[in-house]
Structure 1
Amino acid sequence: MKSDHPRMSYLSQLEHETIFILREAFARVKPTAMLWSIGKDSTALLWIIRKAFFGHVPFPMVQLDTEMELPEVYEFRDRIATEWKLDLRIELCPPEDEMDPTLAPASRAAARKTAGLRNLIGRDRFKGIILGIRRDEQSMRAKERVFSPRATDGAWDFRNQPAEFWDQYKTEIPEGQHLRIHPLLHWTEIDIWKYTLRENIPIVPLYLSRSGYRYRSLGEKNITSPIKSDASSIEEIIAELEATNVPERAGRLMDHDSEDSFERLRASGYM
């Protein structure tokens, strides 16, 4: 629900729209869970959820765990889960040798989370899965809807999606299917960092420069690399982003696989 209030800042309007989406999802789609990657986007979304529901998180947080995250990510996860009293559920993902052998190596490693999510939904029958993705992250994600239907096997038909006009969302779910819900779809990377700074949201310290390198996007240690950067504070990250044209996911190795790898991952259910 967009607001034209003249005194509302741009960040407050983004927050307002996201809270509206979250409350719509909670009211209309049950049962629901949220995927928490422990990265900057999903942690900012988790912060907004706590605002939307008056300090309470009314659905489970799920980490799809390949056991390949960096140590700092696990440390941050455990600390925040305790401090914020989260219903945190760890879903271990199947091994890489069970993934599609025709995928490029890094994409095959990433596909483990798709399989883990499919197992989670099949077992716990979630009808809604909330994620912290944004349209500006990757070209395939630019095609997403806020409420995005998924087939029984998790596949995404990006060529046949419901229209979303005037904040009217289609939330009916055919038997066996589920909805992916994207409350941050309209945000940008800089928006997330400006909001994190404004709200003083905790972050994994890997985002800040150490010895001339930092992680711009967090993923498994076998498929993610840091970038060269001297940005050791959020203010410096924002300034750096305002001056760069390097893609956010430049450190994600799977994004450098064959041209159709990410499209194949997304179409089959990747986040």
Structure 2
Amino acid sequence: MDHLDKLESRSIHILREAYSEFNNICMLWSVGKDSTVMLWLARKAFFGHVPIPLVHIDTSYMIPEMIKHRDKLAKEWRLDMIYGQDEETLAAGETFPEGKLSHLECCGRLKTAALKNTLNGNWHRYRYNHNKDQYELDSNREPYTGVIVGARADEEGSRSKERYFSPRDRNNDWDIGDQPPEFWDQYKTDFAPGTHVRIHPLLDWTELDVWEYIQREKIPMVSLYFDQGQGKRYRSLGCAPCTEPVESTASTVDEVVAELKTGKFANIAERDGRAQDKEDGGGLEELRKDGYM
């Protein structure tokens, strides 16, 4: 087995373990490269069928290509696709793009609060109806007891403190000092009732690992990751008003892999173009303590 085979094998094992141990879990899909690789791994883990609902938190400010890519793959791969959002904040126009909030405050509402209330069933969920080719209000409001997330330890500082199976309290709040040890590939999955669990199958993957796996497996990616002739592309995807591309002429997966191998971005954080990270002092620890992805 080569390096990618070993990473793939561990991630598939964790996905199967999560599905086996937790009764009502979902998988977050941001439509970015990491969560799309995770989705691909889930298709492998369960032989082409993903038996876990996919949840997307739609801030309504996502770059339009992301939503198109989400719905295209949802149809092609027959995914159980669900989205949630902070409808009250959006209706009131209390967002950063409307000039009412800071980046962090906006993320706190449109991402963190929307995620928590979508997972616990307090707010509306919208499920894709494959027969009607449209999203409909979901009558199922049962809370998800666990969520599978495409976080990587090398992406930013707070993620390096996660475990493969990382417990939160019933409100999704994260106590960083109370994390179970994970020695010799032994994972704790027997948590107290009411514990909400985050599962991280990609925790030990690097940015280069992800792109080399995309290259090997030929995984379809949203076009925003590639230069469209402007000499720019995105390394990390988020809301359009708060995410900046990097200078790059890489227009294919092969070129992205080659570019990363040159070390061009070695001293530049992968999320350097995300405004909320800079406002939070270069990390997302406070947002993540409160439930952010």
Same fold per superposition (TM over 0.5): yes
Change (3 A) 1:188 1:262: same
What pairs with 1:24-63 in structure 2 (closer than 5 Å)? Answer: 24-63=17-56
CA apart distance, 1:171: 1.3
Alpha-carbon contact 2:157-2:283 (below 8 Å) kept: no
Structure 1: tracts of 5 or more residues without a match: 1-7
Match of 1:5 in 2: none
Match of 1:106 in 2: 103
- Partner SS, residue 249 of structure 1: coil
CA apart distance, 1:163: 0.4
Alpha-carbon contact 1:35-1:129 (below 8 Å) kept: yes
Alpha-carbon contact 2:85-2:118 (below 8 Å) kept: no
**What are the Cα deviations for residues 34-70 of structure 1, in whole angstroms up to 9, with x where unaligned?**
0000010000110110000000101100101111111
Match of 2:273 in 1: 251
Aligned counterpart for 1:177 among listed residues 170, 175, 195: 195
Structure 2: tracts of 5 or more residues without a match: 122-141
Q: In the alignment, is residue 229 of structure 1 matched against residue 229 of structure 2?
A: no
- Partner SS, residue 148 of structure 1: strand
Amino acid at match of 1:143: K
- Partner SS, residue 90 of structure 1: strand
Match of 1:17 in 2: 10
Paired residues, number: 260
Aligned equivalents of 1:230, 1:63: Cα separation in 2: 30
- Partner SS, residue 271 of structure 2: helix
Alpha-carbon contact 1:38-1:73 (below 8 Å) kept: yes
Identity %: 47
Aligned counterpart for 1:68 among listed residues 61, 68, 78: 61
Aligned equivalents of 1:220, 1:30: Cα separation in 2: 32
CA apart distance, 1:260: 7.7
Aligned equivalents of 1:34, 1:114: Cα separation in 2: 16
Q: In the alignment, is residue 119 of structure 1 matched against residue 117 of structure 2?
A: yes
Aligned equivalents of 2:53, 2:120: Cα separation in 1: 16
CA apart distance, 1:154: 1.0
Aligned equivalents of 2:245, 2:28: Cα separation in 1: 23
Alpha-carbon contact 1:109-1:223 (below 8 Å) kept: no
Aligned equivalents of 1:247, 1:263: Cα separation in 2: 15
What pairs with 1:134-153 in structure 2 (closer than 5 Å)? Answer: 134-153=152-171
Alpha-carbon contact 2:95-2:106 (below 8 Å) kept: no
Alpha-carbon contact 2:211-2:253 (below 8 Å) kept: yes
Amino acid at match of 1:155: D
CA apart distance, 1:174: 2.4
Aligned equivalents of 1:140, 1:106: Cα separation in 2: 18
CA apart distance, 1:98: 8.6
Change (3 A) 1:213 1:172: same
Amino acid at match of 1:142: S
Instruction: Give the structure with the higher percent helix.
Output: 1
Alpha-carbon contact 1:68-1:221 (below 8 Å) kept: yes
Change (3 A) 1:159 1:201: same
Comparing 161-170 and 106-115, the one that deviates more: 106-115
CA apart distance, 1:249: 0.5
Aligned equivalents of 1:138, 1:175: Cα separation in 2: 30
Match of 2:135 in 1: none
